Amino acid sequence: MKGGMTRHMGRGAGHLAPLLFLALLLCLSLPAPVQAQGLGFGGNFDGQHFYLLRGETTPEDADIYVTVSNAGDTPVTVNITTPNLPLQVELLLPTQNLTLEPGESQKLNVAIMVGQEATPGDYTLTVAAAVVPSGPGIHIGVGGQSRATLTILGEAGTVVIRALDSKGEPFPATIGVYKEIAGNLSLVYPLQWSSLETKLAPGDYLARALYEGVTVTEEEFSLAADERKEIDLVCYSPCLTNFTLSPVYSPEGALTSAWIACSIINLLQPVDNVSVTLKVSAENRVLDRVPLLSRDTLDKGETANGSCSYSPAQGWQKGRTYRFVLELNVGGEPYYQSLAKELTPAGMPGGVNWAIIGGIIAAVVVVAVVVYLVRRRRPKKA
C-alpha cells in the first residue's frame, strides 16, 4: 500500500514540477514598471525659411524660438540637440539640457550663424528634443523635432514689397515672390501678409499680390547684388485674372491665330461700366484694340469672362514679336493694365518649309546615287 501511494505521489510531483518552472519563468519575464513621460515641442522655428549671406547671423531681436513643455505627471530632464547641420552653420541655443516640472514650459530662442566659408545652397535645419531616461524601469522614448529651411546666399540684394490700394493705404493681400525655373513659375519666398522684406540672389523675379487666392496684381523686377529695391504693388478691385494666350497652328505648323481669354473679379464694392480691351502691338506700334468684354454693373464677388480669336489684318509676319496687353476700364476711365504676353511666329500660314523640302530632295538624290552604283556593279549577261 505504501509503495502504491509512493508511486502515485511521485507521478504527481512529476506533473507539478514543469508547472512550477513555467510559473517561475513567467514571474521573471514580467516587465519592470514602465515610466512614460509626455513632452510637448513647438515654437515658430518649425516650417520657416531663412535667407542668410555667408558670414551673417540672424539679428539679435529676431523672434525665433522653440518651446518645450512637460505634459506628464513627473519631472523630466530634456536634452536639446541640432543634428546633421551643414558645414559652417551653427544653431545657437541658450541651453542644451533643462529640467521641467509637471505642467512647466520653457521658450528657447534660436539664432542661426553662417560661416564665411559656407557653401551657398538650400539646407534643412533641425532642432530636436528628447527626454533623458531616469530612475528604474523601462522608459518609453519621448521626443520631438522642429525643421526649418536655410538658403545660404553667395551674394544678394534686398527687396521690400508692400500691397497698397489705389489710395496708398495697406491692402489686405498676401504677397509672394516667384522666379521662372525650367519654364515654370516657382515660389521662392513664402507668402507674407501685406508686406515683406527679404534678401534674394541677383536675378529676375515676379512679385504677386493675392486676395483670397485670386491674383490681384503682379510686377516683374530685377535685383542686383547689394541693391535695395522697394516695390509697391497697387491692388485694384475689380481685378484682371486668368489672362491666357494660346497660339493656334495649321496642320503644316504655321501660326494661324491666337486665342486670348481673361476674367475680371470684383472683390469689394459694386462698380459700374466695366470693360476689358485687348491691345496688340509690334515694334512699339499699336496694331489693334479689340473689345473682350463689357458689363454695365459688376457686383461684389461677381466674375465676368471674355475671350476672342485674333489674327492681324495684314497677316502674321515671321520673326516679328507681337505683344498682347489687357486694359481694364472702370466707369469709362482707364483703371489698370496687365503685364504683356508675347508671341513670335515661327512660320507663315501657307508658307513653304524649305528645310523639309531640302531634306526630301537630299534623300531622293541619295537613293538615285545608290541605285546607279548598284546597277553599275551588276555583271553583264553573256
State how far the Cα of 291 lies from the Cα of 279, in Å rounded to an integer. 9
pLDDT digits (tens, 9 = 90+) for 86-105: 999 999 999 989 999 998 99
**49 contact partners, CB below 8 Å, separation of at least 6:** 148, 149, 150, 151, 189, 190
Mean pLDDT of 192-198: 89
User: Between the ranges 8-12, 119-123, 361-365, 366-370, where is the mean pLDDT highest?
Assistant: 119-123
15-25 pLDDT, tens per residue? 555 555 555 44
Pick the CATH number of 35-153 from 3.40.50.620, 2.60.40.10, 3.20.20.140, 3.20.20.70: 2.60.40.10
At 119, the pLDDT band (50, 70, 90 cuts) reads very high
Contact 205, 224 (CB under 8 A): no
- Asked if residue 74 lies in contact with residue 102, where contact means CB atoms within 8 angstroms, the answer is yes
Name the fold adopted by 157-234. Answer: Immunoglobulin-like (2.60.40)
Structure confidence at residue 88 (pLDDT): 93
pLDDT over 50 (residue 232)? yes
Lowest mean pLDDT among 11-25, 36-50, 95-109: 11-25
* Location of each CATH 2.60.40.10 domain in the chain: 35-153, 239-343
Q: What is the pLDDT of residue 365?
A: 52
Q: Could you tell me the end-to-end alpha-carbon distance of the chain, in angstroms, rounded to an integer?
A: 130
Give the single-character DSSP code of 366. Answer: H
Question: pLDDT value at position 312?
Answer: 94
Q: How far apart are CA 111 and CA 61, in angstroms?
A: 10
**What's the pLDDT tens digit per position in 236-256?**
888 888 899 999 999 988 899
The per-residue pLDDT for range 323-358, each reduced to its tens digit, is: 999 999 998 888 888 889 999 997 544 444 444 445
d(CA 18, CA 24): 10
pLDDT at residue 261 is higher than 70:
yes
Fold of 239-343: Immunoglobulin-like (2.60.40)
> Is the N-terminal amide bond of 247 cis, ω within 30° of 0?
no
Measured CA to CA, the distance from residue 334 to residue 187 in angstroms comes to 31
CA distances from 286 to 99, 290, 322, 325, 342 (A): 73, 11, 10, 11, 14
Query: Amino acid letter at 311?
Result: S
pLDDT of residue 188: 82
Q: Where in the chain is the domain with CATH 2.60.40.1120?
A: 157-234
Reduced to 3 states, what is the DSSP secondary structure of residue 179? Answer: strand
